Amino acid sequence: MEGNSQINVAASDTKLQQERAEEATHRQNVEEYNKQAALIEKKQLKYQKLSFLMSMLSALFTGGMLIVVVGFVMFAVPKINTIYDSTMVSLKNLEQLTAELNEADLGGTVENINNLTIQATGDLSASMERLNSVDLETLNEAIDNLNATVEPLARFFGK
């Protein structure tokens, strides 16, 4: 029986060694898993920090753009309204001018001016013909004769 007990002790020692080996392997596997989990956790923390930084930059950029847009709107809208009002006034003035030009019968006015110019040219031509037809030598003789006639009368009246 002693042989059986030695076999049982040897078997028990072998079983114990096997359990210890399995436990050591298990501990090693757990340590590797913990190391890998720690690396993954570090990477996740790094990505979370990067994500937070990007979120903050995005928020700052969006806020900056909002400030720029609001400033532009506050600056540009009054100027655009002024330009719009000026354009509307100019458009109304243009409409009034167009209406007045439509009422003003420019074609008739130009035709009347043209007719007056033709008539004045004709009258001027007739006057020039009359002036050219006057005999200046005969006119000078008539003036001399009139002077000779009037001069004795003037002396008679004492002038």
Digit-coded pLDDT (tens) for 76-131: 889 989 999 999 999 999 999 888 877 777 677 778 888 888 898 888 888 888 87
Q: Which domain does 122 fall in, by range?
A: 109-159
What is the sign, positive or negative, of the torsion defined by CA atoms of 17, 19, 23, 28? Answer: positive
* Calpha distance 67→60 (Å, rounded): 10
Q: End-to-end distance of the chain based on CA atoms, in angstroms? A: 198
Residue 41 counted as domain residue: no
In single-letter form, the type of residue at position 126 comes to A
CA dihedral 25, 26, 29, 34 (to 10 degrees): -140
How much of the chain, in percent, has pLDDT values that exceed 90?
Answer: 36
Backbone angles phi, psi at 40, to 5 degrees: -65, -40
Residue 62 lies in a domain: no
What is the predicted pLDDT for the residue at 3?
A: 54
Instruction: Please indicate, yes or no, if residue 141 is contained in any of the structural domains.
Output: yes
Q: d(Cα 129, Cα 116) in Å, to the nearest integer?
A: 20
In a domain, 118, yes or no: yes
Structure tokens at 68: 């720029």
- Give a yes or no: residue 46 inside a domain: no
d(CA 62, CA 20): 61
**Count of domains forming the chain:** 1
Q: Does any domain span residue 77?
A: no
In a domain? residue 63: no
Cα–Cα distance, 72 to 79 (Å, whole number): 11
- The per-residue pLDDT for 32 is 92
- Residue scoring higher pLDDT (23 or 136): 23
CA 96/CA 78 separation, integer angstroms: 27
Alpha-carbon span 125 to 119, nearest angstrom: 10
Kindly state whether residue 25 falls inside one of the protein's structural domains: no
pLDDT surpassing 90 at residue 65: yes
CA dist 131 and 136 (Å) reads 10
